[in-house]
Amino acid sequence: MTGLLNVHNLTARHGQLTAVRDVSLSVDRGEVLALVGANGAGKSTLLRAIAGVHPIASGTVHFDGWEVSRMPAYRRVALGIALVPEGRRLFPEMTVEENLMVARSRPGGWDLESVFDAFPMLRQARRRRASSLSGGEQQATAIARALMTNPRLLLIDEASLGLSPLATASVYQSLGRLIEAGTTLVLVEQDLNRALLVANRVVCLREGRVALTAPAASVTREEVTEAYFGLGRPVAVRP
């Protein structure tokens, strides 16, 4: 296993419903992987299973040589896996700074000042309650909170969901700083154009299975669309 993250034949369920079916993928150090697919394709469940907040029915997850498949979420955080969940899940009555400080865990280069440098919008909002923030500010706070754990792998679920175009641009500007710094990132994103612009590689899920994996620089929108919706001829999985 050469990747920082290696997922092998992972299956996860919601009751009797199989949400992720026999998925295998790997993520190298410093790579940005865009995970795309229609609603209900299994993207969020896959991220949550990797992070340890959703049980795995079968298969394995290895992180930097450690098998973490049955490891609780807090131990995965200690190893360096951080999840930014869909819906942000901030503490609404706590300030931005309090939301960030509660996540401090692993030692490393991310602290309040470096996080505020990456997300300048939060510096002025640091004393405001999370409930008073705009959608873009809340998303930035959620990502910044994950960075306070000093992750080696950052999982972001629906980076731009529900955001205005201006807020989305601001969040992606800050994500660009993380990518330039070499952050290893798995990004679930509905905006295909943005996903292809920032990613090294794209994986498309359809009905819980991998329908396409390809370099973002060479894959076409038509190929991703065919994989996304299952239209036309089957899309081959490419290296």
Average pLDDT, the chain: 90
Q: What is the pLDDT of residue 235?
A: 45
Residue 238 has pLDDT above 60, yes or no: no
Q: Which residue in the block uniquely carries the two structure tokens 């131990």?
A: 75
| CATH class of the domain defined by 5-229 | alpha beta
Please tell me the pTM assigned to this model: 0.89
Per-residue pLDDT, 170: 83
For position 1, what pLDDT does the model report? Answer: 53
CB 227, CB 204: distance < 8 Å: yes
Q: What pLDDT score was predicted for residue 32?
A: 96
Separation of first and last alpha carbons in the chain: 16
Condensed to tens digits (0 to 9), the pLDDT of residues 121-134 reads 899 999 999 999 99
- DSSP string for residues in 156-188: EE-TTTT--HHHHHHHHHHHHHHHHTT--EEEE
3-state secondary structure of 11: strand
Please say whether the dihedral angle defined by the alpha carbons of residues 155, 161, 162 and 167, taken in this order, is positive or negative. Answer: positive
Contact in structure between 210 and 25 (CB atoms under 8 Å): yes
Q: Would you state the pLDDT for residue 35? A: 95
Phi and psi torsions of 180, nearest 5°: -60, -30
**Which tens digit of pLDDT belongs to each residue from 71-118?**
999 999 999 999 998 877 899 999 999 999 998 878 888 999 999 998
Q: 48-57, 113-122, 223-232: lowest mean pLDDT where? A: 223-232
pLDDT at 232 over 80: no
Count of helices and strands (H, E) across the chain: 9, 10
Residue-level pLDDT at 233: 47
pLDDT in tens, 168-201: 888 888 888 888 888 999 999 888 888 888 999 9
What confidence tens digit (pLDDT) does each residue in 11-43 have? 999 999 999 999 999 999 999 999 999 989 999
Compute the distance between CA of residue 112 and CA of residue 174 in angstroms, rounded to an integer.
15
d(C-alpha 48, C-alpha 195), whole Å: 19
pLDDT (mean) for 201-227: 92
| pLDDT at 64 exceeding the cut of 50 | yes
Residue 162, pLDDT > 90, answer no
Structural domain boundaries of the chain?
5-229
Give me the pLDDT at residue 234, please.
44
**CA gap 191, 178 in Å, rounded:** 19
Look at 167 and 186; give whichever has higher pLDDT: 186
Alpha helices in the chain (DSSP H): 43-51, 73-79, 96-101, 112-118, 120-124, 135-147, 165-180, 192-198, 221-229
